[in-house]
Amino acid sequence: MALTSYGPLIGAIDQGTSSTRVLIFASKTGELITYHQVNVKLIYPKEGWVEQNPNEILQSVITCLSKAVENLKALNINVADLKAIGITNQRETTILWDKLTGKPLFNAIVWLDMRTSATVNKLLANIPDNDKDVLRPQCGLPVTTYFSALKIRWLLDNVPEVKAALKEKRCLFGTVDSWLLWNLTGGVKGGKHLTDVTNASRTMLMNIHALRWDEKLCSFFDIPMSILPEIHSSSEIFGYINDGPLKDIPISGILGDQQAALVGQMCFKQGDAKNTYGTGCFLLYNTGSQPVESKHGLLTTVAYQMGKKKPVTYALEGAIAIAGACVQWLRDNLGIIKESAEIEHLANQVDGTHGCYFVPAFSGLFCPHWKPDARGIICGLTQFTNKFHISRAVLEAICFQTRELLDAMNHDSGIPLKSLQVDGGMSVNSLLMQLQADLLGISVVRPSMPETTALGAAMAAGCAEEINLWNMDPTKYPKTITDTFLPTISATERDKRFQWWKLAVERSLNWKL
Ligand code: G3P
């Protein structure tokens, strides 16, 4: 069968915290042809613990791949047109498995998990002034519960199966990309144990200047380097799918999901930035070929490296743990809504929160505070407050947290952002986007095709050497159609509300159990 007008196709596996999707793009037009989505369960075994079943994650990917293939067939498109696949994934989430049996040694410890607070304190007890920024010069990150090294340490200390597998040299570590790659390329029958620079930069074990696992960092956490995957660029052939309807298709791109969104939004120039609204919320600012060390609580991270011999690009990142997760909390814990999308309708029933502020510090507060013991609070309640005000306060909380990130970003970069490119599942909520423009005081620009994370992974896969379907020149991609939201409130009003938010955050930070 001849190629359709779409030209060769490129797929993306987008394994996020709440769901897995496989999306297929046309390389000629950049058009999204089809996709399939499966939700993935989060497990909360104890307060502060967040886990997922690695086999369920893997199975969700396999299901999405075969459903996407069925969709192609139903559209009368030849599956052989699919030339490459990229992986993008929730970052930091940590999986240890047995390389002889292929079985996970424990559940995946999800990035939101707080069980390592005591490990953090223990490690910092030996550091002058308990300085959590002690490793920033090497890895760009503060010592907190968020990153993989702490989670690996916990697994090595607490899980007998892990201890035994380590002793018998059967134990492998991977972030979700590595776990998927190893399994999709053969598993126990020769699966590739690799990762890319962006995912490796979230473990705290990679030196972000040398782009290699760092002996000093590994020895700080007492993690054996033998369990770590090999680090590669974000765009090269990592291996070939070894089974199923896509057998022999190359996996040629891997990017952490936030970095993939930066690429999908074409933020290739120094000073370009995007904010993605998913389970959490992540603002990444391209700092070019130089890593910039944050003085305001942001993270320094690898943005991408599009090929083995290509230069590396860095980013400053602001990470908020709870964004869409708070809407899920309204749905699952309070039952105020049945579907997440309903929040827009509820919040639109009122023209303000009437002084109600919601600080969703369910996993402590990430950037710029880094306070694991902060607690969620709803304050400013009166007899008049109802579910509409609370729903609106949840949306405002996401916007205020983004304002905190933007302020930190503007201070660190010295060049205030004039407009913000946005994407992610929650960005379809137009009220949220309008509130965001109002509370930032700059324009908010949303692409009409919101799947920028998957597009970024597909772009990395398509531009890999030996694939050569796409290049990274933004002028070669179709022009993105966007919606722009402009601020509608005065600077005085904006600042007044932000001061109230800060008072609420103070209370959240100082809450003592
Ligand atoms: O760092 C965690 C992040 O990668 C999770 O992204 O899209 O699942 O909120 P998301």
83 CB within 6 A, ligand 1: no
Q: Which two tokens stand for residue 440?
A: 């930032």
pLDDT, residue 1, reads: 47
Q: Tell the residue number behind the tokens 């930091």, with chain if given.
A: 92
Q: Report CA(490)–ligand 1 centroid distance (Å).
A: 33
Measured at the CA of 13, the angle between CA 327 and CA 344, to 5 degrees, comes to 20
What are phi and psi for residue 148, nearest 5 degrees?
Answer: -65, -35
Using left for φ > 0, alpha for ψ between -120 and 50, and beta otherwise, residue 378 falls in beta
The secondary structure element, H or E, covering residue 300 is strand 299-304
Q: Are 420 and 433 in contact (CB under 8 A)?
A: no
pLDDT, residue 94, reads: 98
CB atoms within 10 A of CB 273: 24
The secondary structure element, H or E, covering residue 315 is strand 313-320
Point out the ligand 1 atom lying closest to the alpha carbon of residue 91. 4
CA distance 359 to 511: 12
Q: Report residues of the chain scoring pLDDT below 70.
A: 1-4, 474-479, 513
Q: Are 300 and 136 in contact (CB under 8 A)?
A: yes
11 CB within 6 A, ligand 1: no
Which residues 6+ apart lie within 8 Å of 190 measured at CB?
none
DSSP, res 362: B
Q: Tell the residue number behind the tokens 């929650």, with chain if given.
A: 426
CB atoms within 10 A of CB 155: 23
Q: Report CA(90)–ligand 1 centroid distance (Å).
A: 4
- What three-state secondary structure class fits 107? coil
Q: Report CA(350)–ligand 1 centroid distance (Å).
A: 30
Give the torsion sign (CA, 60, 66, 70, 71): positive
Q: Which two tokens stand for residue 5?
A: 């007008």
Point out the ligand 1 atom lying closest to the alpha carbon of residue 18. 8
Which residues 6+ apart lie within 8 Å of 392 measured at CB?
346, 347, 350, 352, 353, 356
CA distance 166 to 159: 11
> Amino acid identity of 428?
V
For ligand 1, atom 6, name the residue with the nearest CA.
Answer: 90
Q: Report CA(438)–ligand 1 centroid distance (Å).
A: 25
DSSP, res 480: P
Q: Are 244 and 66 in contact (CB under 8 A)?
A: yes
Number of H helices, E strands in the chain: 15, 23
Q: Are 231 and 213 in contact (CB under 8 A)?
A: yes
> Amino acid identity of 282?
F
- What three-state secondary structure class fits 360? coil
318 CB within 6 A, ligand 1: no
CB atoms within 10 A of CB 78: 13
CB atoms within 10 A of CB 489: 14
92 CB within 6 A, ligand 1: yes
Q: Tell the residue number behind the tokens 């100082």, with chain if given.
A: 510
Q: Which two tokens stand for residue 363?
A: 């996993």
pLDDT, residue 477, reads: 67
90 CB within 6 A, ligand 1: yes
Strand partners, 255: 88
Q: Are 88 and 457 in contact (CB under 8 A)?
A: yes
Tell whether omega for the bond before 368 is within 30 degrees of 0, i.e. cis.
yes
Which residues 6+ apart lie within 8 Å of 24 measured at CB?
9, 10, 11, 12, 32, 33, 34, 35, 68, 71, 72, 82
Q: Exposure of 215 by Cβ count < 10 A (0-12 exposed, 13-18 middle, 19+ buried)?
A: exposed
The secondary structure element, H or E, covering residue 196 is strand 194-196
93 CB within 6 A, ligand 1: no
> Amino acid identity of 271?
G
pLDDT tens-digit readout, 127-153: 999 999 999 999 999 999 999 999 999
For ligand 1, atom 1, name the residue with the nearest CA.
Answer: 91
What are phi and psi for residue 89, nearest 5 degrees?
Answer: -155, 155
| Reported ipTM | 0.98
CB atoms within 10 A of CB 190: 11
- Pairing mode of beta strands 273-277, 230-232: unpaired
Report the predicted TM-score, pTM, of the whole model to 2 decimal places: 0.94
| Entry field: residues in the chain | 513
Q: Report CA(211)–ligand 1 centroid distance (Å).
A: 22
Q: Tell the residue number behind the tokens 């075994």, with chain if given.
A: 45
CA distance 307 to 319: 26
203 CB within 6 A, ligand 1: no
Q: Tell the residue number behind the tokens 């120039």, with chain if given.
A: 269
Measured at the CA of 420, the angle between CA 419 and CA 424, to 5 degrees, comes to 160
Q: At what angle are helices 387-413 and 430-440 packed, to 10 degrees?
A: 50
Q: Report CA(355)–ligand 1 centroid distance (Å).
A: 30
CA distance 402 to 424: 14
DSSP string, 92-153: S-BEEEETTT--BSSPEEPTT--TTHHHHHHHHHTSGGG-TTTTHHHHS--SSTTSHHHHHH
Q: Which two tokens stand for residue 301?
A: 């991270």
Q: Report CA(284)–ligand 1 centroid distance (Å).
A: 12
Q: Report CA(281)–ligand 1 centroid distance (Å).
A: 8
Point out the ligand 1 atom lying closest to the alpha carbon of residue 16. 8
91 CB within 6 A, ligand 1: yes
For ligand 1, atom 3, name the residue with the nearest CA.
Answer: 90
CA distance 330 to 364: 18
